[in-house]
Structure 1
């Protein structure tokens, strides 16, 4: 790890707050043309994901990881077993059909602060999350990525992921549906 960079397991309120902010900034910059503006304005607040990260930590459902450059959080993600069923992070309407992927690991969320992209931080965090999943005995992993998010798709491809032809449709207000493509690789 380069000097001044530190990986931190998300386990404190300040970590959950930092991760939620990075997620919100990521949504606002990445999904502005893909998600209805009224949903974005009402739902994608700086603190929207704090209770979910707190609950994930308490329940052990998945783990959060933050990368800091000195005192500045620059990148974060969550990882764990493949999700199956309703997703309270979006709405009760969202359900992930992971049949056939039950024993897989999943990169559940992955965001770099918009001001910190292109500096290699995402690669450091991704490699660490994959290392940890392997350490948990996971042999295969997937990540869901918005079809229109070409930058993220290229990032995952550089890290050995490839689209396996499956996807999840994520409903939003006004009948809008976003399509998340499932990218897979060996852990």
Structure 2
């Protein structure tokens, strides 16, 4: 039996409960062994949903939240947030992928790839030359996923602490501009291999 097509749409306040649950399950799956288990076990999807609703109500200038759901199911299986790159309090001409989480039961099904591609497409359409993202240095699965999508670590690192444990982040970047081959013929950005 074939899976229904995946629909990507803007997140609404009504989606925040589902997204909060995906974020918490995503943290508990992806960061086990990187951050203290007591911290992961104490994460509360309802609190996370409240933070998402508050952020959505603030209407952060230029930020966009997308959700993915298999057509006809009404079940959200992934979430991505993107917007202008944040350099401290400043926004730059570049874009940033703020977050990308997939329900752990749907890893490897193309949900993450679809959300990432739509985020890249939307930011390129807005004229951003590059997209940046930050990922935990020890999150090898996510790093491989982004590398397959054309992102490369640029050498920048940020200290990050969770419950007193140092878990540094590394920055990745990808061009959003279309580059013409040497013969001058037009070329679209390549479609990377399927991700988690």
Pairwise same-fold verdict (TM > 0.5): yes
Match status 1:46 vs 2:45: yes
Distance 2:88 2:46 in 1: 24
The residue number in structure 2 matching 1:60 is 59
SS class of match (1:47): helix
Segments of structure 1 that go 5 or more residues without pairing to the other structure are 87-98
The answer to whether the 8 Å contact 1:17/1:47 transfers is yes
Distance 2:149 2:171 in 1: 14
Q: CA deviation at 1:3?
A: 4.3
After superposition, the CA RMSD in angstroms is 1.9
The answer to whether the 8 Å contact 2:11/2:65 transfers is yes
Match status 1:120 vs 2:110: yes
Q: CA deviation at 1:137?
A: 2.0
The answer to whether the 8 Å contact 1:163/1:181 transfers is yes
Please show how residues 70-89 of structure 1 align to structure 2 within 5 Å.
70-85=73-88
More strand by share: 1
Deviations 1:100-150 (A, max 9, x none): x83221110101110101111111111001111112221111111111111
Change (3 A) 1:179 1:134: same
The residue number in structure 2 matching 1:148 is 138
The residue number in structure 1 matching 2:5 is 4
SS class of match (2:47): coil
Match status 1:185 vs 2:174: yes
Segments of structure 2 that go 5 or more residues without pairing to the other structure are 177-196
Distance 1:160 1:18 in 2: 29
Distance 1:183 1:30 in 2: 18
Q: Which shows bigger deviation, 102-111 or 33-42?
A: 33-42
Q: CA deviation at 1:8?
A: 1.9
Q: CA deviation at 1:18?
A: 1.1
TM superposition score normalised by structure 1: 0.83
The answer to whether the 8 Å contact 2:68/2:111 transfers is yes
Match status 1:33 vs 2:38: no
The answer to whether the 8 Å contact 2:160/2:168 transfers is yes
SS class of match (1:151): helix
